[in-house]
Structure 1
Amino acid sequence: MHPTKRRDIILKAVQEEGKVEINEMSDELKVSAMTIRRDLVQLEEDGKLIRTHGGAVLPKPLITETPFSTKQSRQTEQKKLIAKKTLPLIKAGHTIILDSGTTTLELARLLVTRDDITVITNDIKIAAELSDSQLKVFVTGGELQNNIGALYGPQTHQFLKNIHVDMFFLGAHALDLKAGITSPTFEKSLMKQLMIEAAEATWLVADSSKFEQKAFSKVCDFDHLSGFITDENVSDEVKEQLFHYINII
């Protein structure tokens, strides 16, 4: 079979199924796995697919910032369960940073009954959630990002550069094994990087829908994290690769 025809068959398969496996295509087309790998390399260079461990998937567009009202209605149960699993990590006397986002907001809702920690956040909705608690709460200050509720800008940067905390709970816009944790803007990535630098430990809290997504600006690689708390829908393949770098709950 001519390579062009073989690659057309592979591309059609990935378009119909969303992904292909090297071994399956090798058996179907009666060629070696190495031949299929070369085909996938060429198709990736042509921008028609993205290679993964053991196969390939369709390329996905970069994700953009999502309004709070939209994010709040997505993966709600997963976010609540992630927050419950996160809670035992926070010990009496800890000072923590809660990143802006709906998963960290669920964690804040569980912290309302506590009175033994200090919380720092750049999210006005998290701050409002904690306003009637007995916790010591610091808000970073800065310019408000409309429709999102996050604070940003030079004032926020200066605040973060002058603090040191026990733990940072990092929210994520997009996760990818190769690209790492990414964010829609340079500004968002810088904010998260400053929070990582301020913390003794950083735990990523994100549901499985964020995987195989890429956004514009890189925050960090997975090996910069202390751990990752997610839902059970993360694939075994992803878990296996991440176990080399971080703890996974």
Structure 2
Amino acid sequence: MALNEPQGKSGLSRARYLPQERKNHILSALVENGSITVSDISSALGVSEMTVRRDLVELEADGRLLRVHGGAVLPKNDSQPVMDNEPALFEERLKQRAEAKTRIVTAAAAVAARYNTVALDIGTTMLMLAERLAGCSRMKIFTNNVRAAHALGRNPVLPDVYLAGGLMREDEMAIVGPSAIAQFEQLWFDVAFISVSGITGAGLYDSALDEAEMKRVYLRRSGYKVVLCDAAKFQHMSLVHIAHLQDVDMLITDQQPPPALATALDVANVQLVIAPAPE
């Protein structure tokens, strides 16, 4: 296993590391390799093996890793990623995990309220978020989601709504294709809210090629990127890998992710928001 060895400022000596910097290095190596040894970390960071062992004890207490003889591995209580079949129809998905989605949308609306130009992806959670944002008159909302645009337009006090032009996929009512991509590639959004069909330590997934490409546009053209994903999608994969975890800034969900995924989110510097249950 090869670990990158950080250099000092001159390249002649190793830098001194704060405890959190050491721990971040350990977690990064774990996510990349699946396991690490005390001796490798000690050599890479230029610290004693006793210091490394102390860091491992603290990380294990936080549930980020499992110590083994001579090193550490990722926690063993995570399920293996599951490859999903074709998703259910929209109306059926709208009824699934409604309480969790409501919690997520409530937290997401509070984030959206900080910004002026907002990009909304497609999906059931995004429709619910659009309904929450319908009265935000100072906001400009850009979307390829026909249902969301319609929901926003029903409110007498509505934000400015910009709908991408292109081919509409029937069940999802999503605008996709080269013209939609070219149109939104010319814009810059303060924040984008992205839906996914699955998330693992390797990144974000979706089931449709054309819809995934629009999601990548939102990620490329936004200053702040927020993924909305309920816990049922943890450790699930689909046909298309959309992006890596480090390509997003925040994950809003309804439950704590399993340990290995939580570690990967930490390493990718993704802010994790667990939407609270209603009082």
The reply to whether TM is greater than 0.5 is yes
Q: 1:145 aligns with which of 146, 169, 173?
A: 169
Query: Would you say 1:69 and 2:94 are equivalent positions?
Result: no
Question: What letter matches 2:145 in structure 1?
Answer: D
Question: What letter matches 2:126 in structure 1?
Answer: T
Q: Aligned partners of 2:264, 2:115: CA distance in 1, in Å?
A: 34
* Conserved 8 A contact 1:68-1:149: no
* Conserved 8 A contact 2:90-2:172: yes
TM-score w.r.t. length of structure 2: 0.66
| 5+ long unaligned stretches in structure 1 | 1-32, 35-51
Q: Aligned partners of 2:120, 2:198: CA distance in 1, in Å?
A: 18
TM-score w.r.t. length of structure 1: 0.74
Deviations 1:112-169 (A, max 9, x none): 1221100011111101100123210000121111111111111111111111110000
* Conserved 8 A contact 1:172-1:204: yes
Question: What letter matches 1:243 in structure 2?
Answer: D
**1:40 corresponds to:** none
Question: What letter matches 1:211 in structure 2?
Answer: F
SS class of match (1:81): helix
* Conserved 8 A contact 1:99-1:169: yes
| 5+ long unaligned stretches in structure 2 | 1-67, 274-279
> Identity across aligned pairs (percent)?
19
Q: Aligned partners of 2:250, 2:110: CA distance in 1, in Å?
A: 13
Question: What letter matches 2:193 in structure 1?
Answer: F
Q: Quote how far apart the aligned CAs of 1:59 are.
A: 6.3
Q: Aligned partners of 2:77, 2:259: CA distance in 1, in Å?
A: 15
SS class of match (2:118): strand
SS class of match (2:92): helix
Query: Would you say 1:212 and 2:235 are equivalent positions?
Result: yes
Query: Would you say 1:128 and 2:150 are equivalent positions?
Result: yes
Question: What letter matches 1:132 in structure 2?
Answer: R
SS class of match (1:243): helix
Question: What letter matches 2:241 in structure 1?
Answer: K
**1:175 corresponds to:** 199
Q: Quote how far apart the aligned CAs of 1:56 are.
A: 6.8
Distance 1:58 1:220, change over 3 A: closer
**1:111 corresponds to:** 133
Distance 1:175 1:127, change over 3 A: same
Deviations 1:61-97 (A, max 9, x none): 3332432112101111111110111122123661010
Distance 1:55 1:146, change over 3 A: same
* Conserved 8 A contact 2:191-2:224: yes
Q: 2:184 aligns with which of 160, 181, 185?
A: 160
RMSD (Å), alpha carbons: 2.3
Question: What letter matches 1:145 in structure 2?
Answer: R
Q: Aligned partners of 1:177, 1:229: CA distance in 2, in Å?
A: 16
Distance 1:222 1:91, change over 3 A: same
